[in-house]
């Protein structure tokens, strides 16, 4: 399930990991700051809050990603390897979504 706002950006996304972890994240955007934030929706025990901020790298055709997580609940935290895998998956998704 993906709910979209009037601007076409996702406002809520359902995540399912195996049979035991199901939750939604609710997204807000600050386009001027190039930042997206998310908070747990349903299934809060397995969800995380966080943000991603994108900044141009001066003098280079590159973008810097600042990514932060805050775990909510008792489902186990996100470790560094999981966070790196998530950022890599997000990068692949962004690359495939280019217009």
Which residues make Cβ contacts (< 8 Å) with residue 91, sequence separation at least 6? 65
- Per the prediction, the chain carries an average pLDDT of 81
In this predicted structure, what is the pLDDT of residue 72? 58
Choice among 39-43, 45-49, 58-62 with the minimum mean pLDDT? 45-49
Choice among 26-30, 33-37, 40-44 with the minimum mean pLDDT? 40-44
In this predicted structure, what is the pLDDT of residue 82? 67
Q: Per residue in 50-92, pLDDT tens?
A: 999 999 888 888 889 898 887 655 545 556 676 677 777 777 7
pLDDT at 45 exceeding the cut of 80: no
Say what the pTM is: 0.65
Rounded CA-CA distance 98/88 in Å is 16
């Amino acid at each position: 399930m993906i709910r979209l706002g009037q601007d076409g950006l996702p406002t809520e996304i359902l995540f399912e990991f195996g049979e035991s972890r199901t939750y939604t994240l609710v997204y807000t955007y600050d386009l001027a700051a190039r930042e997206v934030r998310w908070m747990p929706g349903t299934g809060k025990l397995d969800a995380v809050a966080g943000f991603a901020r994108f900044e141009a790298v001066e003098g280079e055709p590159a973008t810097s990603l600042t990514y932060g997580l805050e775990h909510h609940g008792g489902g186990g935290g996100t470790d560094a390897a999981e966070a790196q895998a998530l950022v890599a998956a997000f990068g692949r998704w962004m690359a495939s979504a280019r217009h």
